[in-house]
Amino acid sequence: MNKKYNHKSISNIYNILPVIVSQTVKDESCVVLSRKHILFGLNVLKNHINYQYNLLSCISGVDMLSTTHRFAVVYDLLSIKFNSRLRVKVFLNESTSIFSSISLYVNANWWEREVWDMYGIYFQNHPDLRRILTDYGFEGYPLRKDFPLSGYVEVRYDAVKKRVSLEGLELSQEFRSFNYDTPW
């Protein structure tokens, strides 16, 4: 490989993309892009001759409950030609959405639906954004850090009605906050 086009160093990426932050730790490169520049950034990283990240290996969501930007969407890209990986991050609030990357990477369909289903991060212009891992009537988003571990409803068998029934779950105040002291 020609050293001139060694794209593993991402220092020259600032000349091409509106990168907020970039870093390389132990041969793993990561760039942070703004929400409004994500499609442009992914398009450049896929089609630019010095990068050629043609494979999207994963899109994942991260819930950082106590920070300014609650959510992060992480794109893991692979350049087969240069045998290199790049992680692209976008930080979002609860009320903001992100553009769908299906127009660039077809396999983003599944990943974006999964992130929507688990975290509630909305992808604009997604052709089929619906639940993929939970039931269609499921309320809430299971991987959010504010989602209760027991859920919002309780499923139990009612012997009188002779059927399974769903009942709203009410937790007493003593079970809502757990202190790590043992009572014995």
CATH number for position 117:
3.30.460.80
In a domain, 120, yes or no: yes
pLDDT the model gives residue 184: 57
- CA 142 centroid distance within chain: 13
Query: Running along the chain, 184 residues long, what does each successive block of 10 average in pLDDT?
Result: 47 84 86 95 93 95 90 96 94 94 96 96 94 85 80 81 82 56 61
Residue 125 CA to residue 64 CA, distance in Å, equals: 25
Contact between 109 and 102 under an 8 Å Cβ cutoff? The reply is: yes
User: Whole-model pTM?
Assistant: 0.78
pLDDT the model gives residue 138: 81
In a domain, 87, yes or no: yes
In a domain, 31, yes or no: yes
pLDDT the model gives residue 89: 97
pLDDT the model gives residue 78: 95
In a domain, 166, yes or no: no
How far is the first Cα of the chain from the last one, in angstroms, to the nearest whole number? 65
Residue partners of 6: CB distance under 8 A and separation at least 6: none
**Which amino acid, 55?**
L
Domain, as residue range, for 88: 3-129
Contact between 33 and 90 under an 8 Å Cβ cutoff? The reply is: yes
Number of domains in the chain: 1
pLDDT the model gives residue 145: 84
pLDDT the model gives residue 137: 78
